[in-house]
Amino acid sequence: MEIQANVGSIADKVDFAYGFFEKQVPIVVVFQKDEMIDIIGVTKVGVSPVCPVRLTGISERVSFTVARASQNGYHHRTEMNKKIYKLGKTEQESHTAMTEKDITPIGGFPHYGFVKDDYLLINGYDLIMGCGQWAFTT
């Protein structure tokens, strides 16, 4: 994870970063609510398939199901300006009720499971890239 340290001189920045070596850093220390962040992650395969409109005009008459040369590896992509809506802990009191409520629905999230650590609720037009349990950086 990359975090910008705005603490003064270079020596102060080194001391600040040295204090976090081999320690778990809580989300609350790094992020704030309503903050805009950039997310860097890994995606598989290339771009989405082209619309059938491409068949108009002078072009090859090849079915879209035929395998053709394209980018099929892993890609390092960055999505910018994602807003943090909520920072939360797994078992936290609700603002409406004083009981501990878990963000995980009964039975867990589909294709993910149960949330066991602190979490971020992030908004953006597209979903976060990659598989549901892949790591991503901000």
- What is the pLDDT, as a whole number, of residue 137? 59
What is the pLDDT at residue 99?
Answer: 66
pLDDT for residue 43: 77
Q: Model pTM?
A: 0.62
Q: What is the pLDDT of residue 44?
A: 76
- Residue 101: the pLDDT is 72
Q: What is the pLDDT of residues 7-28, one digit of tens each?
A: 789 999 888 888 888 888 888 8
Contact 102, 118 (CB under 8 A): no
With a cut of 50, list the residues of the chain below it in pLDDT. none
Contacts of 3 (CB under 8 A, 6+ apart): 30
Q: Mind listing the domains of the chain with CATH numbers?
A: 26-46+75-123 (2.40.30.10)
- pLDDT for res 118: 84
Predicted confidence at residue 11, as pLDDT, reads 92
pLDDT at position 59, please?
Answer: 59
